[in-house]
Homo-oligomer: A and B are copies of this chain.
Amino acid sequence: MQRIPRRAAIKTVYPDHSPISAFRFARPPSSLPPVSEQDSPTAITFASREDQASVDEASNFCPKFNADGLIPALALDEESREPLMMAWMNEEALRRTLELGEAVYFSRSRQELWHKGATSGHTQKVLEIRTDCDQDALILYVRQQGAGACHTGRRSCFYRTVTPGDPSALNFVQERAFDPDKVYGTQAP
Across the interface, which residues of B come within 8 angstroms of A47, CB to CB?
168
A122-164: CB near B (< 8 Å → 1, else 0) gives 0000001111110001010000000000111011011111111
Whether the Cβ atoms of A168 and B61 lie closer than 8 Å is yes
Given contacts A133-B152, A170-B58, A175-B18, contact A164 B23 (CB under 8 A): yes
How many copies of this chain does the complex contain? 2
Given contacts A169-B60, A170-B131, contact A164 B80 (CB under 8 A): no
- Residues in A lying within 8 Å of B, measured CB to CB: 4-7, 14-23, 25, 44-47, 56-61, 72, 74, 76, 80-83, 85-86, 95, 98, 101, 128-133, 137, 139, 150-152, 154-155, 157-175
